[in-house]
Amino acid sequence: MNEVLILNDGTELAGHLLESGEKLYLYVTGVTLREAFELLDDPEKTKIIKANRYGAKTTVRGYKRLFSISDDNSGGMISAGLRKK
């Protein structure tokens, strides 16, 4: 995978992230909306997220509150938003 997210418990998801101000946006593929919700609605799993996007590695910390989640209507990509508080 060229883009991977690794949750705090070691779960790997195909996708990438974008930090914007106090929010974190995740874009994942290969999971259902329900699966993504169950993973990202768990603060223990999201408090540390590692990302590897084409070799560029990033670690984000403290994002524990899922505030939005949606799919792109084709089942291809899930978009989610997390906040620290």
When pLDDT is cut at 50, 70 and 90, the band that residue 16 belongs to is: very high
Domain tally for the chain? Answer: 1
Contact indicator for 12, 4 with CB cutoff of 8 Å: yes
For tokens 């084709």, name the residue: 74
Question: How far, rounded to the nearest angstrom, does the alpha carbon of residue 4 sit from its chain's CA centroid?
Answer: 9
Q: What is the pTM of this model?
A: 0.92
Name the phi and psi angles at 43, rounded to 5. -60, -30
Among 75, 42, 60, CA closest to 5: 60
Beta carbons within 10 angstroms of residue 33's beta carbon: 13
**Predicted local confidence at residue 77, as pLDDT:** 95
Give the structural domain span for 30: 3-83
Residue % of the chain over a pLDDT of 70: 98
**Predicted local confidence at residue 72, as pLDDT:** 84
